[in-house]
A and B are shown apart, each in its own frame.
Chain A
């Protein structure tokens, strides 16, 4: 009996009745703060590859040259919408939800150092890593498809049947080599730090446009 009285009281509440009579499903709108797939802004990409370095999903973001300009391209099926690439991009090329605005306001920063390790037991010297490396291609465009080169300025190249690392400090951590290694022999350790209140110019020589040491940003 008490439950019947309870139900009568519950359904005679003015709030319930008005809701029942005027109930209308609100249209689905994406709120502005929703962290959606990153989109590119008007800013110019400098191919620093910070977005590829930080991306946790395999091959979700790739920096490609289309019509003479570098642009980051996102594969929606692979992207997990974490928004880290938006935080990592020093040129504010990417935007997602409110992350870009928050990043500018709070001066969010992601910086890193990179270490290449090659397992000599599993490396068979195929040279895939040296060929696909975007920094290698910038430094020595004449790098052969076998991964061999005459230049000692490249990050790594095949030397006497083994891949050898020459300039670890030039690595941008984009992990393209990792993804193209058939044996998982090459690994790029990305020691990443998330800070705030800093500037991208202090942290990595590759991000400096005016610095001659900046290899990729010589636009």
Chain B
């Protein structure tokens, strides 16, 4: 009889398939993964400590730099949190513009996540197609805000500047282009037999396990949990938002949930563009003293800002809870455990869309 040896298999911290450094320690028997653990701590910035004692016009930029992939939502959540403290309501047009920029950012983040999943399962053609499509979204972000990543578009009381008609037209053209192209890519993904072999039934996260481990974002929604903070946001409620939910709970479902959310985002942007009326985009207002816990839906799940301000609007205390910490843990303890093949470790991990820079801050 052949002797099986238990091997501790480290993946990372430097790995060609990871966007950011992190280490997965797996206990394996042959190819079978017995247990896994995610080790973090390679990109700690201590950004919450830097934020303390600073006014909004500095913290806003630091908040954006928490995460390079989903920077707009950090800006959005921080500004809405301080607005809630001070009782500032942005003008209607500014509220819709915020949704537009946020959804564009969500689209590029989801496309990047799906790119890196396709790259992980060695379907480079589709990966590069998706990455090329992401550039269209980035160009629109740059057109509206002036920068691709750190847009810094949202300020207390509104947004930095208006969206003129010619840019709106260009945005509509780009949305149609994204819709038609992405429909083709989704068909490739759905019908590709090799993709199905490496995705369907792999890394299964049951609804019970997801609820117990408090999974958030598309990872939870792909396991049949209808949880999305956008359902509680008044602007999204006005746009008729309903979360995308899938039942399978495997790698395939998580990627398809992200694809469906990109389509949902294009529809939300179209709805916001059609509802926008000309008007003011900056209402003004200064930040007052107070404390708040404010949550919003980042591309990866629920993002929470817990902050205290003083009478001059400076941030006294701030704590940020990002979605990836829940998702990486649920990935290690539920999805990776009992994986049939060591070759699936990276693809399962990437399918939960971990953002290490967010998690460690």
Contact = CB atoms under 8 A, between A and B. Distances in A.
A187 B62 CA distance: 19
A54 to B, nearest CB: 6
A102 B53 contact: no
Chain B interface category by residue count: 35 or more
Given A80-B61, A102-B161, A190-B55, A33 B286 contact: no
B284 A194 contact: yes
Contacts of A194: 155-158, 160, 282, 284
B146 A191 contact: no
Contacts of B55: 189-192
A200 interface: no
Contacts of A106: 161-162, 281
A29 to B, nearest CB: 12
B146 A84 contact: no
Given A2-B191, A54-B57, A197-B280, A33 B146 contact: yes
B192 interface: yes
Say what secondary structure dominates the interface of chain A: mixed
Interface in A178-195: 187, 189-195
Interface in B139-176: 142-143, 145-147, 150, 152, 155-158, 160-162
Interface in B14-64: 53, 55-58, 60-62
Interface of B: 53, 55-58, 60-62, 142-143, 145-147, 150, 152, 155-158, 160-162, 188, 191-194, 280-287, 310, 312-314
Interface of A: 2-3, 6, 10, 31, 33-35, 54, 56-57, 80-84, 87, 97-99, 102-103, 106, 108, 115, 187, 189-197
29 contacts: A2-B193, A3-B192, A6-B192, A34-B146, A35-B145, A35-B146, A35-B147, A56-B58, A81-B147, A82-B61, A82-B152, A83-B152, A108-B161, A187-B53, A189-B310, A190-B55, A191-B287, A191-B312, A191-B313, A192-B286, A193-B284, A194-B155, A194-B156, A194-B160, A194-B282, A194-B284, A195-B283, A195-B284, A197-B280
